[in-house]
């Protein structure tokens, strides 16, 4: 059995809200701020802060535009974000060992 070591988990992803955002974007491809807020049950401010952390890490790309007169913010995983997400999942599988089967 490999040595158990949770120190290598990506701390940017590992927070509950950021983990939820990454999981949702990995399957949805892209999502509006409103969709992410609804899917994660986050407040505007909390989601904004965590999206910024993911953006600063290069994992998420944020786009802002207007539809008519309404602002629309969307987020999508970057290639680096998808790679980090897959690495995170592999690390979690490794930590779970035989329990994952």
Measure the CA–CA gap between 98 and 101, rounded to whole angstroms.
6
Note whether residue 29 is domain-resident.
Answer: yes
Note whether residue 1 is domain-resident.
Answer: no
pTM of the model: 0.87
CATH number at residue 37: 1.10.10.10
Residue 23's domain spans which residues?
11-88
Query: Domain total for the chain?
Result: 1
Q: What is the pLDDT of residues 40-49, one digit of tens each?
A: 999 999 999 9
Note whether residue 43 is domain-resident.
Answer: yes
Note whether residue 81 is domain-resident.
Answer: yes
Note whether residue 70 is domain-resident.
Answer: yes
Note whether residue 82 is domain-resident.
Answer: yes
φ, ψ of residue 76 in degrees (nearest 5): -145, 155
81 pLDDT above the threshold of 60: yes
Measure the CA–CA gap between 24 and 42, rounded to whole angstroms.
13
């Amino acid at each position: 059995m490999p040595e158990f070591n949770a120190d290598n988990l990506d701390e940017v992803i590992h927070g509950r809200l950021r983990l939820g955002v990454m999981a949702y974007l990995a399957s949805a491809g892209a999502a509006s701020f409103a969709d992410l807020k609804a899917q994660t049950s986050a407040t505007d401010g909390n989601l904004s802060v965590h999206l910024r952390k993911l953006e600063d890490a290069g994992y998420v790309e944020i786009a802002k535009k207007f539809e008519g007169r309404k602002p629309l913010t969307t987020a999508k995983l970057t290639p680096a974000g998808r790679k980090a997400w897959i690495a995170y999942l592999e690390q979690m599988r490794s930590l779970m060992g035989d329990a994952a089967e």
